[in-house]
Amino acid sequence: MAFCSLVTVVVSYVSQTAPILACLNGSFTFISSLCRCFGITSYQSIFPVSIPVGQELPTAEVVGKKLKQTLNAIKELLFNENNHVRVVGLCGMGGVGKTTLLKELNNELDKSLNRSHGIDLVIWVLVSKDLNLKKIQDQIGNKLSLSWPEATEIEKRAVDIFNGLKNKKFVLLLDDIWEPVDLRIIGIPNVESNSNKKTTESRIVFTTRLEFVCGHMGARAIKVEHLDEDEAWNLFHQTVLKAWETSSSSTAHDESGPKLDPIICNLAKEIAKECQGLPLALNVVAGAMASQKDVEQWRYALNTLRKSAGKFSDMKDKVFPILKFSYDNLKDNKMKSCFLYCSLYPEDYPIKVEELIDLWIGEGFLDEDDDIEQARLEGHNVIGYLKSACLLEGSVKNRGHGNVEHVVKMHDVIRDLAISVASSDLGEINLKNSIPEQLNLDNWELAERISLMGSRGVSELTGAPECRKLSTLFLRGSGIGTLSDDFFRFMPKLKVLTMPQSMEISKLPTSISSLSALRYLNLSENYFSFDDLEPGTFSELVSLKILDLHNSNLRNWEKEGGPSLHELERLENMKSLGISIGTDLALRKLVTSDKLQLCTKKLSIDLKGGISSISLSPSSSETSVSLANMANLKILDLYSCDELKELRIPSRVLMEDKVPLCTSLEVLNLLSMPKLDIVCDMLHQQSLCFINLKHVAILSCPQLKDVSWMIYAQHLERLELGYQEGLEEIISDRFPSGVTKLSITFPRLQELVLEQLENLQRICSYNVKFPELKHMTVRGCPKLKNLSFDSGALRRIEGKREWWESLEWEDETTKYNLTPYYVELEF
């Protein structure tokens, strides 16, 4: 499938929306949805948090003698008393290892160096190519527990940052600077000349591809060199062998592990030479070759690299042909199209895996055959392949309140490669460097894919541009505040549309109903007024397969004169739905529609009355509804349901072939329900109840006494409990049959957050096992005196000093083992 005329419009990459509310642990998405319901548009931080020294970052191993020597040289310059260097710049070509070195320095500062040098704060800032001072300030402010409305001037932010840093010994790490930055404008105290001793003991380190930036910023430049031939071969060799460890077809084995076939080994050494010592290129090419077991494949690869890589002299010409080899080596056009599509996202952007796959489905890249779940599995397979080829990097993004997302990123050099491929091979119209404050829509006529994500140069889209070829349009994450009502009138081939989340746009354009070819529409977390939504808006979208209205203002279905859920039922091609419900009539209609129940993947419910009970097993009455037939529901949010008294949870598989909702549920969020109690039959721990539940957040539900039903959630990874004055213990001693005090285990729980639980006395009366628990936060739990659980994996436990010192230990060994991982919370 051809991927043509890619248009990438990126003016400046900033965070999609500067956080208006500084919430618990920096979590905004779920709470902000609640706040929109009440018309709250500006906030202040109500829970100051402590400032840990630093944060460990995932990074590749520092390989080779040269890179290790460079790392030691950096530390020598920064921390040797005989040196007076306070600003260091790491310069070198893209992919040479600058960021890896900076991350390794960050991690050493977070562990050992901060203790030996008395460092108060380590701040990591990602700058990126399109310089945005407010974005830099936001990252520094986040570390200092500062937040500002988007409109706050740079000067005001700078004063706050300066006051937060002036009495601290800090290390500021800035990654990927493309032009000189006056740090004083941002608010960074002058570390070179200052009367404050702590300030002059502070240090600044940054990375850049441009050596002149070091001079302009008064930094000691350290050139990060390529690996030498032996180091490059070792890196390439080990990367291939790791992928071949389980293979027997082309590898020999001895006591030391697998070995390459001698002929392939010689070819591999020559291929490694062609990578010219660039770690990124070595990893990418080795990743691409890891699946190649035939000698002729290696010989062909070597000939291909030699033919193209030797023709160029600068970075672009030397690196891109090598990286393009990995692109060319993708097995089909489908894989290539999926890869190139990722470049529509801004530089360094964390791309949600589930969202990306749905976008691919919307574009038609994945074989669907009316089975969207199979297409999603294929999408995960594509992502796995792209990650294994080092064309995408995977990680996990914690958005808080049970919302943890798997994301992928494109390395900026890889993204540049993708844009270059789309431009040179496919005639892309690139508007990246020619964006006026108001985009000239005439440039859109030939475009097939346009992304305004991260762009703050485009504030309004007016008129009705003729975009006869356009298939994808990303408006989400842009600075657009004005959108004309007839904007979508002449876009007959548009398949994928993401809408902006601007508070300034309250009305969904009526011309959206003209998009008869649209297959994917994302309206989640928006501010569109439901009252202005005309009946029939959605029923005209006859090709729609994926519709996301989750956590949006579009929730008041079934009101007189307004849109009805019947419109969504008429969408014959729709396979996936995220929806918000704000009326009891709409909820009842949803749970009696076979089609909508089957399609719904994400559901948020915000009811002010009419329903007193919601059940996850089959039962219904005038005041209760059942969600049991929503077999595909993965995310359930209940918030501000003031009259909801009961959430009834089944603990066993239903009779016959029916399976309760809670076997597919992955995320459960319960927030601000003053009368809610959770009722569970508690029949047997070995039931299939909640077998896929991974993330739970329960906040401001004061009637709950315990959450013992969670013993069924054996795959639970994150649990957050907060503001429950009635909660006295997490797991009570009222065990179901078959459960003993010795069998209570949460085998996959990795993070436990306990906030403002003033009456919480214990985790459990008996010893609970958390074998994988790595991070625990306790704040505002004065009666919790005993940590009665087993966890050999715990590596960070946060709490106030007063609470920590009041803990009663069963033995001194436990206290001794946990003390190194305790981090004091000041507030």
Q: What is the pLDDT of residue 739?
A: 55
Q: Is the pLDDT of residue 4 over 50?
A: no
Mean pLDDT over residues 544-554, rounded?
Answer: 93
Residues 6+ apart with CB under 8 A from 658: 618, 628, 629
Let me know: does 753 contact 719? Beta carbons within 8 Å.
yes
Confidence class for position 18, pLDDT limits 50, 70, 90: very low
**Predicted local confidence at residue 442, as pLDDT:** 65
CB contact set of 827 (below 8 Å; sequence gap of 6+): 47, 48, 49, 50, 800
Confidence of residue 253 (pLDDT cuts 50, 70, 90): low
What's residue 78's pLDDT?
86
Q: Inform me whether the pLDDT recorded for 23 exceeds 60.
A: no
Q: Give the model's confidence band at 114: pLDDT under 50 very low, under 70 low, under 90 confident, else very high.
A: low
Q: How far apart are CA 416 and CA 376, in angstroms?
A: 27
- Report pLDDT digits (tens) over 270-295: 988 888 788 888 888 888 888 788 89
Q: Quick: pLDDT tens for 691-735.
A: 899 999 999 999 998 898 888 888 999 999 999 999 999 988 765
- Residue 83: which pLDDT band, with cuts at 50, 70 and 90? confident
- What crossing angle do the helices spanning 279-289 and 262-274 adopt, rounded to 10°? 140
What integer pLDDT is reported at residue 254 of this predicted model? 53
Residues with Cβ within 8 Å of 543's Cβ and at least 6 positions away in sequence, in order, are 495, 516, 517, 518, 519, 573
For 723-778, write each residue's pLDDT tens digit.
Answer: 999 999 998 876 554 555 556 789 999 999 999 999 999 888 777 889 999 999 99
Tell me the per-residue pLDDT of 646-697, one tens digit each, with 9 for 90 and over.
Answer: 998 875 544 444 555 568 899 999 999 999 998 876 555 455 668 899 999 9
Six token digits for residue 280: 């990124």
Average pLDDT along the chain: 81
For the segment 348-357, the average pLDDT, to the nearest whole number, is 93
| pLDDT tens-digit readout, 769-816 | 899 999 999 999 999 998 877 778 899 999 999 999 999 987 788 888
**pLDDT, tens digit, for every residue of 168-178?**
999 999 999 98
Q: What is the pLDDT of residue 117?
A: 77
Instruction: Give the whole-angstrom CA distance, residue 113 versus residue 565.
Output: 59
Question: Which two tokens mark 204?
Answer: 């600044």
Lowest mean pLDDT among 40-44, 54-58, 314-318, 337-341: 40-44
How many other CB atoms sit within 10 Å of the CB of residue 510?
16
Give the Cα separation of 70 and 82 in Å (integer). 18
Tokens 């397979």 belong to which residue? 381
CA pair distance 428, 7, nearest whole angstrom: 6
The DSSP string of 92-151 is: --TTSSHHHHHHHHHHHIIIIIHHHHT--EEEEEE--SS--HHHHHHHHHHHTT----TT
Cβ-based neighbours of 263, under 8 Å, separated by 6 or more: 295
79 SS3 class: helix
Mean pLDDT over residues 375-382, rounded? 94
Distance CA 798, CA 129 (A): 35
How confident is residue 622, by pLDDT bands cut at 50, 70 and 90? confident
Domain limits, CATH 3.40.50.300, in the chain: 65-223
Rounded to an integer, the average pLDDT of 102-127 is: 85
DSSP 331: S
Whole-Å CA distances, 824 to 22, 51, 420, 794: 20, 9, 48, 15
Q: Of residues 621 and 131, which shows the higher confidence score?
A: 131
Above pLDDT 70, what percent of the chain?
Answer: 81
Rounded to the nearest 10°, the torsion over CA 683, 587, 524, 376 is: 50
Phi, psi dihedral angles at 621 (to 5 degrees): -155, -170
Tell me which range, 280-294, 327-341, 436-450, is most confidently predicted by mean pLDDT.
327-341
Confidence at residue 126, expressed as pLDDT on a 0 to 100 scale: 93
**Which DSSP string do the residues of 765-796 spell out, in sequence order?**
SS-EE-TT--EEEEES-TT-----EE-TT--E
Band of residue 20 on the pLDDT scale cut at 50, 70, 90 = very low
Question: What is 146-165 written as a DSSP string?
Answer: ----TT--HHHHHHHHHHHH
Q: What is the DSSP letter of 378?
A: H
CATH of 65-223, one of 3.40.50.300, 3.40.630.10, 3.40.980.10, 3.30.465.10: 3.40.50.300
Residues 6+ apart with CB under 8 A from 114: 53, 54, 122
The predicted pLDDT at position 824 comes to 92
| 454-510 pLDDT per residue, tens | 877 777 888 899 999 999 999 998 878 888 999 999 999 999 999 988 777 878 899
- Residue 90 predicted with pLDDT over 90: yes
Q: What is the CATH topology of the domain spanning 330-425?
A: Arc Repressor Mutant, subunit A (1.10.10)
Q: CA 444, CA 439: separation in Å to the nearest integer?
A: 9
Give the distance, in angstroms, between the CA of residue 524 and the centroid of all CA atoms in the same chain. Answer: 16
Q: How far apart are CA 694 and CA 716, in angstroms?
A: 4
Per-residue pLDDT at 174 = 96
How many helices (H) and strands (E) in the chain?
23, 36
Q: Are 264 and 241 in contact (CB under 8 A)?
A: no
Q: Is the pLDDT of residue 14 over 60?
A: no
* Per-residue pLDDT tens over the stretch 199-247: 788 999 999 888 888 988 999 999 888 888 999 999 898 888 876 664 5
Residue 66: CA atoms inside 13 Å, Cβ hemisphere, count? 18
Evaluate if residue 623 carries a pLDDT over 90. no
The ranges of the chain annotated as CATH 1.10.10.10 are 330-425
The angle that helices 98-108 and 65-79 make with each other, rounded to 10 degrees, is: 50
> Where does the pLDDT of residue 561 fall: very low under 50, low under 70, confident under 90, or very high at 90 and above?
confident
Q: In the prediction, which pLDDT does 374 show?
A: 93
- Order of strands across the sheet with 677-680? 624-626, 613-615, 646-649, 677-680
Instruction: Please compute the mean of the pLDDT values over residues 429-445 and round it to a whole number.
Output: 48
41-55, 351-365, 717-731: range with lowest mean pLDDT = 41-55
